[in-house]
Chains A and B, each alone.
Chain A
Amino acid sequence: MLLPQLIVNGIIAGAIYALVAASFSLIFNILKFMDLSPGALFVIGAFATYAFNILFGMNFFISLLLGLIVVAICGVLINLIVYTPLRKRKADNFSLLLASFGVFLFLTGMILLIFGAEVKSFGFPIEKGYEILGIVITKLQIILIIVSLILFVALQLFMTKTKIGKALRAISDNPRIASTLGINTEKFTNITFIISSLLAGIAGILISLEQNLDHAMGFSVILKGITASVVGGIGSVPAALIGGFLIGIVENIGIWFLPSGFKDAIAFVILIIFLLIRPKGLFGVKTREEVSG
């Protein structure tokens, strides 16, 4: 029963990657550039919750809520302080990507400064895990998968059924036309950053409950998240979910056969293959850059 266990492990990891992928995709759809800052918000979510819960001794769920508020505020501030002025000056997508890398380094550096380098933990007692048909899985891992799936269903409903979600899709398709229909695109950009940050923050909190908190954990998550969103096809919510699971599973099966040091390389190889062969991903949808004429 090795393969099923590897697949389940892959799904657990994939649930996290999927959330991060959705976080990247949302911003990409609205602003058309790869924003790396969700990698930092992932770390901030975990450390802020840790600070409220462990350092300040607050109730876990209140800490969680406060942690997410911190993350959302950071997301909007990043947009307002860094990206909005850059876009006003007509910065191209590459400049924005570079700026976002700077944001990532700055924020994770701040985390290192504040919390120090040693690995931290929420200190939940280690569970033994259930054994179902020979597959071992802990309660926390089950919760992690369920939370991720619920968030995806909620996100999909939000994008397809609510007025704000539909406006976001319209902006993603054609921001200039959306603006002529009465949509204040700047305002919706901030909404995008709130949602995107929350997704990244929740992913960071979930992983830190399951494993540890490490100020450096944002980097590999950027790689996995971007790969998952590219593999699934940037542009649709379900695609990010499937992309995430796929990366998680391939990676977990892969490290069984390869030395574990190759773990991050697997995602990278998949990313390159997709960029070369199928850049719009498995479920890629048509996007249009700008209004012509």
Chain B
Amino acid sequence: MYAGVMKDNRSVSRLQLEKVSHSFGQVSVLHDLSLVVNHGEVVVLVGPSGCGKSTILNVLSGHIIPLSGLVRSEGVVRTIHQQDGLFPWLTVSENIAMGLRSMKDTAHRTKEVSELINLVHLEGFEHHYPHQLSGGMRQRVELARVLAGDSDILLMDEPFSALDYQSRLRMRRELIRLLQLRLRTVVFVTHDIEEAAQLADRVLVLSGRPATISCELLIDAPRPRDLTDNAVIEAMKKILKELGL
């Protein structure tokens, strides 16, 4: 019932990189990288630490202008950063309301914030500050903030990697549930193979530096997927093999 309430006229969102290269000083991080992310797709980038995953997201969000190549993005892009990105001086409600800044009608905005709070199951914590929440709850606030309002594309940089294993499993389910309620185009970065296999429509395995896509894997099993589902196990096998592990 949520999907489309905010954006009945949701335009088709899309991300594209074409022959993008970037380097920091002498270190070439991206080389001739091309990729397309289609509307409503969940693309997961997997790769070893330091191979350039965050850099790809930064290029997609426009924070980094690559030295060469073409970046095209259609739609409002929101990012969940690798570090804690909530403003510690704002309450849960106020942080979520940041995602609704373009909404001028305050009554409508208040209503939307409380809907989002219900959506991520944080009723009763509206007036708490981030430092009073657990890691998992903070990530729920981040999710609510990027889902708020008119966002089309979500870039997520290892959003759950700071959580303990069980919270991580729970947050994956949470993300899948939220995306079913509010459809978004997602690029999700992780080094967690399980996470990739459970979440992705398409997994891109990155290798080495400069980062190149060494394998592309489609997973068309419906979500949510159990860790023990055949599709998940098959996907994990292939990814592990590709990473040479």
To the question of whether A and B form a pair in one complex, the answer is no
Binding site for B on A (CB under 8 A): none
